[in-house]
Amino acid sequence: MLSLGVVLSTFVVALVTIFITHWVRKWRNPKCENGVLPPGSMGLPLIGETTQLLIPSRSLELHPFISKRVQRYGPVFRTNIAGKPVVLTTDPKFNHYILTEEGKSIELWYLDTFTSMLPIYAVGNVQKYIRNTTLSRFGVEGIRVNLLSQIEQVIQTTLRHWSTNQIVDVKHDAASMIFDFTLKQLISYDWEESSEKPLSKRFSSLLHGLLCLPLDIPGTTFHQTVKDRKEMLRIMRDAIVERMNSPNKIQTDFLDTVMERLENSEVCDSRFPIQLYGWNFICQL
């Protein structure tokens, strides 16, 4: 005859097994209250598919994490990143819809590291104003009329510099080139005339830290990301203070345009989402 202890132990093990099985099944098959989720995989419990996404790739194409899932599930699929269930899309029309409806029929939501590194203050009328100003300056017509000759000059200078190097990381260096050029158009910042670390390198470090664990401990990627963010904000704030102290000095750049209407804190924090979107867009070309 089985003892009471053995019976209780068996009962507890059975309960734990049922609970874990139910939890894993619920993890792998999340429910959507207002619709049907696209196909996909949620990966391992707690960490999802984060480790697969963080595997570095030097390919000029889509990251293997995305391309493999597009082939398997289609242009829209579900996954789990950093413990958060998300839906990824590579469909141009759907992406355009998300960008145009953000804050309207699309609810704003970002990963914890995004909200801590990139505060989202540009909403409502401010968001609309920044978007319209950005498109008027960096849209197709604005580039053709005002920036095309400058872009050609920057490309020629960069190609001459590349010709002197034995090895060129085209994806990284091209993105850095366009980032530095864009930053010059935004706040008239020229890293070649500065003794500081180029902001393109700081921003690259910032992007690498957005999907890491948010542990602000010396030696971690997130800690370096926090330092780079503070330095970038300092440079932007210095540019704003300089403009405020010299109102008669006209730079005719993007910052001059937005400062006519936005508050200083809004200008600082709104620059990050624009640069983030531009950097990721460039890297996908």
21 domain-assigned: no
> Do residues 102 and 41 both lie within one domain?
yes
| Domain shared by 85 and 217, yes or no | no
pLDDT tens sequence across 193-209: 666 667 777 777 777 77
Please identify, among 75, 109, 143, the residue that sits at the C-terminal boundary of a domain. 109
Residues above pLDDT 90, as percent of the chain: 2
pLDDT tens digits along 81-106: 877 888 888 888 888 888 777 767 77
Please report whether residue 29 resides in a domain.
no
Q: Are residues 246 and 276 in the same domain?
A: yes
Structural domain containing residue 58:
35-109
The torsion angles phi and psi of 34, rounded to 5 degrees, stand at: -110, 20
Do 146 and 73 fall into the same domain?
no
pLDDT digits 0-9 by tens, 121-171:
444 555 566 667 677 777 777 777 777 888 888 889 889 888 888 888 887
Q: 3-state SS of the chain?
A: CCCHHHHHHHHHHHHHHHHHHHHHHHHHCCCCCCCCCCCECCCECCCECHHHHCCCCCCCCCCHHHHHHHHHHCCEEEEEECCEEEEEECCHHHHHHHHHHECCCECCCCCHHHHHHCCCCCCHHHHHHHHHHHHHHHCHHHHHHHHHHHHHHHHHHHHHHHCCCCCCCHHHHHHHHHHHHHHHHHHCCCHHHCCCCCHHHHHHHHHHHCCCCCCCCCCCHHHHHHHHHHHHHHHHHHHHHHHHHCCCCCCCCHHHHHHCCCCHHHHHHHHHHHHHHHHHHHHCC
One-letter amino acid of 232: M
In one-letter notation, the amino acid at residue 184 is K
Looking at the fold, whether 101 and 131 belong to one and the same domain comes out as no
14 located within any domain: no
- Domain end (from 64, 79, 109): 109
β-pair type (84-89, 76-81): antiparallel
Average pLDDT over residues 249-266: 67
- Which band of pLDDT confidence, cut at 50, 70 and 90, is reported for residue 277? very low
Which of 109, 135, 161 is at the close of a domain?
Answer: 109
